[in-house]
């Protein structure tokens, strides 16, 4: 019986919107930005810092500075965020049925049997249009913004999970939201869950 | 509007069964073994020969013999089968709504806008159990049979399409039929099609 749905997604594929709508249809909470607040409480870091940094891979060149801030415990900021994030997600999953968007939740919850892992992706052209509509224009070309964001997600995922982000084998369902549309993607996930989820 | 569904599948994942049931629910034909008969008519080769050989990649070592049979036109048997297979699938798709299982149909029909490409896969353990139940015991261990068959499909697909078989990006929907079950996989594909398909 599926109680938890994790949604991993390419930037601009509508994965976050899909997650919210799935949660609404199932009558369960969707954790996305809320996770950041919980991680902030755990670590004492500012929310903005977590939002910015936790999608980076600590071994990425541009982030060498993260190692400078290493504490007496030998942990980098990224490591501390990872540990808090893991704890927050594990506790949430234990407590209640929910949707979790991003944050390697598929990997964190891999030992559980009640988790449906979904990956959402779409054609680059459609994603570029979507991020301009969603987040506005920027000096950086949308194709470049997509590539940068997905690369960060990929590196972060690889660093902490040693698995490949977006690889079909790591998910139970992969949906092309560009071809099928957001609405159909939501319906497919709800169907895959196959009925009400229990929320004790 | 989706008119054609192609199903690519790991050996033992139940993809063929899923294809048949999807076709039944949509009231359209499912082409699988029937394709072989049509290819036989086109090429003049025996059905058994096509069934055996058309899942091999012509550059696979064990198949060097395929090159011995090269005709005056310079085409190997595998090439001739590929050309006939392509023609048969293209003509079928033009003529009617249908489900096509295997045979690189996703690639053959890539220019069409009315095709839903699905990949079906499952955990190795579940697939091993399934092939023993479905095809009986054999001197070769089920895990080895799975690996051999999938390797052939992979090589054949790569040789003729220059794409990677089973890579999420080549499909609109990838379904773990081990986790979700055959019945749910069928329902998801029917939902993805989103209603009746037109069959002029």
Chain B residue numbers with beta carbons less than 8 Å from the beta carbon of A150 are: none
pLDDT of residue B69: 56
Chain A within 8 Å of B171 (Cβ-Cβ)?
Answer: yes
- Rounded Cα distance between A77 and A82, Å, is 9
| pLDDT recorded at residue B70 | 60
pLDDT band at A35 (very low <50, low <70, confident <90, very high): confident
Distance from B58 to chain A by nearest Cα, in Å? 27
Does the interface predicted TM-score (ipTM) exceed 0.95?
no
Q: Say whether B188 and A184 touch across the interface (CB within 8 A).
A: no
Which residues from chain B sit within 8 angstroms of residue A119, using beta carbons? 168
Q: Given this model, what pLDDT does residue B67 score?
A: 47
Which positions in chain A touch B166 (Cβ < 8 Å)? 168
How far away is chain B from the Cα of A69, in angstroms, using its nearest Cα?
Answer: 39
Q: Which residues of chain B have pLDDT under 50?
A: 59-67
Alpha-helical regions (H) of B30-114: 33-43, 47-53, 65-68, 77-95, 105-108
Contacts of B119 in chain A (CB under 8 A): 168
Nearest to A35 by CA among A80, A85, A82: A85
* pLDDT of A80 strictly over 90: no
Q: How far is A158 from chain B (nearest CA, A)?
A: 18
- Per the DSSP assignment, residues forming a β-bridge with A30 are A99
Mean pLDDT computed over every residue of chain A = 87
Q: In chain B, which residues have their Cβ closer than 8 Å to the Cβ of A166? A: 168
The predicted model gives A60-83 an average pLDDT of 66
pLDDT tens for each residue of A90-149: 999 999 999 999 999 999 999 999 999 999 999 999 999 999 998 888 888 999 999 998
Name beta bridge partners: A119. Answer: A8, A174
Q: Is A190 on the interface with B (CB under 8 A)?
A: no
Question: What stretches of A27-141 show up as alpha helix (H) in DSSP?
Answer: 33-43, 47-53, 77-95, 105-108, 124-135
Q: Give the chain A residue nearest B173 (alpha carbons).
A: A175
Q: Is the pLDDT of residue A61 over 50?
A: no
Q: What is the pLDDT of residues B144-158, one digit of tens each?
A: 999 998 898 899 889
């Amino acid at each position: 019986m599926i109680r938890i749905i994790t949604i991993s997604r390419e930037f601009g594929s509508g994965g976050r919107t899909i997650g919210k709508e799935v949660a609404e249809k199932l009558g369960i909470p969707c954790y996305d930005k809320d996770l950041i607040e919980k991680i902030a409480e755990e670590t004492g870091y500012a929310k903005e810092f977590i939002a910015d940094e936790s999608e980076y891979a600590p071994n990425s060149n541009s982030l060498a500075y993260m190692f400078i801030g290493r504490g007496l415990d030998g942990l980098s900021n990224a490591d501390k965020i990872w540990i808090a994030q893991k704890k927050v997600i594990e506790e949430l999953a234990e407590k209640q049925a929910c949707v979790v968007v991003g944050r390697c939740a598929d990997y964190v919850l891999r030992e559980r049997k009640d988790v449906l892992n979904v990956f959402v992706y779409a054609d680059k052209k459609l994603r570029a249009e979507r991020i301009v509509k969603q987040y506005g224009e920027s000096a950086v070309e949308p194709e470049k913004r997509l590539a940068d964001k997905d690369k960060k997600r990929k590196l972060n995922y690889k660093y902490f999970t040693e698995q490949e982000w977006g690889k079909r084998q790591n998910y139970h369902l992969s949906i092309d939201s560009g071809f099928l549309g957001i609405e159909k993607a939501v319906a497919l996930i709800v169907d895959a869950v196959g009925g009400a989820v229990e929320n004790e």
